[in-house]
Amino acid sequence: MKNLFKLFAGLLIAFNLVHADPLLQEGSKNGYDVKLSSEKSLVVGSNDIFIELAKDGASFTDAKVKIKFYMPEMPGMPYMEYEGKGKLVDGKYLVKINFTMGGTWQYQLKFKTEDGKVHKVRGSVNI
Ligand SMILES: [Cu+2]
């Protein structure tokens, strides 16, 4: 039993090393602060990703937010993409994204503000 526990603890540690930390990326675009985060580390499967916008230090919740994650075509694997729309929950835009495989996913985040402008932010995440 003890050995089994050790093995399990070891696996947990290995798992945590691979799937290091929750998502946290911050940047700014056209005067807006943009933050992407998750409560748990990203996994193959369903993920809750939170997008926060701020302007002049105040939370900005009047935008329409969309994010597209994509992976280029690779040998034996077609191009893949998943898009989600942000749903405002407690001042954050929640997007649910179901990743079908590990690796690097590029993203393009778009948020449209009341003035009709569409702001784009690009980045990538590793799963
Ligand atoms: Cu791939």
DSSP of 61-115, one letter per residue?
A: ---EEEEEEEE--BTTB--EEEEEE-EEETTEEEEEEEE-S-SEEEEEEEEE-TT
Mean pLDDT (the chain, rounded)? 89
Ligand 1 ion: residues within 5 Å (CB): 71, 74, 77, 103
97 CA → ligand 1 middle, Å? 16
56 CA → ligand 1 middle, Å? 38
CB 109 within 8 A of CB 51: yes
For residues 5-16, b (16+ Cβ closer than 10 Å) or e, as one string? eeeeeeeeeeee
| pTM, full prediction | 0.82
Q: For residue range 43-89, what is the model confidence (pLDDT) as tens digits? A: 999 999 999 999 999 999 999 999 999 999 988 899 999 999 999 99
Query: In 3-state terms, what secondary structure has residue 123?
Result: strand
pLDDT score, position 21: 87
pLDDT-based confidence at residue 105 (cuts at 50, 70, 90) = very high
Pick the CATH number of 21-126 from 1.10.10.10, 2.40.50.430, 1.25.40.10, 2.60.40.2480: 2.60.40.2480
73 CA → ligand 1 middle, Å? 7
103 CA → ligand 1 middle, Å? 6
